Structure 1
Amino acid sequence: MPTLVHELDWPDRVVIGTVGAPGQRTFYLQARSGRRIVSVGLEKGQSAALAEKIDELLDGLMATEGNPFSVPATTPVELVDNDPLEQPVDEQFRTGGISLGWDYATAQLVIEAFPIIEIEVDADTDLSSLDSIEIEPPEMLLLRIPVGAARAFAKRTLEVVGAGRPLCAFCGEPMDPDGHDCILSEG
C-alpha cells in the first residue's frame, strides 16, 4: 500500500508544543494550513535535536557569500508564536525518524517525519537480515517551510524544551515539585 503523505507546503503555522504538566509532558509537532491541522507525537530529545539541526542548517546557509536565501540571524518579530497547540490535538502517529533537508529550488527547509514501525519476528528469524529489509511507512509528514518560519520554529522549540522541570545543580537530573532524591548531594 502506498504511503499516505501529510504534505503541507508553506503552512500557516508550524510549532512544537506540549500537553501535560512538566515531567509528564507529551511533545507534538503541529502544522496547520488553512483548516487542515496535522499533529505528530515526538520525544523531547527529538524536538531539541530537530531545533538544533535547523539552526545549524540555517546558520550554514546564512554564511553563504551574500546570504542568497535571506536567512535571518534571529527570529523575525512578526513570526514569534507563543500560542498553545491548536485543540483538540489528534496525533496522526508517533514519530520514529526525522529527516531534515533544504530545497534549493524553492528556498525552503524540508522536514520529514516518519512513524515508529514495529516488525514482528519469531524465534527463528535471523536478526542480521533485518538490516536489508525495506519497509514502506504507512504514513509520513512532509513540511516545506521558509527560512524565517524555520528560524522561529527552532527558537520556540528550544524554549518549549527548556521549560520543563528545573535541573538539580548536583546531579543534573530533573527535579519534581514534591522533592528530589539526589544521589550526589550531601543532604
Structure 2
Amino acid sequence: MTNRSGSAIGFGGLKRRVVAMTAAAMAGGAILFLVLTWVFPWAHLNCVQQDVDINSGRIRTVRFLFWMRLSERVRETWLSRAARARGAAEWRRVNTFSAGRGYSPHYLYHSAINQIKTLERLDELTRFTPAARAQISARVLELWQQGSDDAAEAYIRRLSGVVVSAHRAGRRTLSVRDLGQADVGRSKQRVEHR
C-alpha cells in the first residue's frame, strides 16, 4: 500500500489511521449527541418520564434513548394500594427529566407524585382507618380526573390541617367521620365543573 506521495505504508500506519478515524467519528457522534440533548432537552433523545394513572394512582417511569423505549416500570403507591382502580389506565405526564437538566417542564399533573408522598406522610403522622384511606384515595382520583392536580392540591392541604390538628390533640387514628372538614367545598366544586 502507498500513501498519496507514493511512499509505502506499513500495516501499522494503516491501523493507526483506522483507529484515529474511528476515534474522531466517535468523538463527533458524542459531541452531536450532547448538542442535541442540550438543544432538545426533553425530547425522547435521552430522557426519563414519570406518569401517573389517574384511575389508580400508580406511577410509571419510562426511560428513552434515541427515541427508543429502553425500560418501563410501573409501581404501586400509597394511593393505588388504598384505592379501587376504576377502568383502564389513563396515564398523565408528571415529569420529564433530561441529562444536564435538574428540572422538568410544568405539566398539568406536575405535583401528583408529591401529593401521593404527602398523603403517605400524613398517614404516618396520624393513621387513617382503611375506610378513611379508601375515601381519601377515591377523592384524590376523582379530583385528578377533573383535568389537573390543582383541586387535589387544595383538598390535600385541607386534609393536612385536619391531620395536624388531630396529631396535636393526641389522636392516633382518623376515621371517615373525621375527614369531613377536609371535604369542605366539595359540593361547590361539583357545581363549578358542570
Regarding TM over 0.5, the answer is no
- The TM-score with structure 2 as length reference comes to 0.24
Greater RCO, 1 or 2 (C-alpha within 8 Å, sep 6+): 1
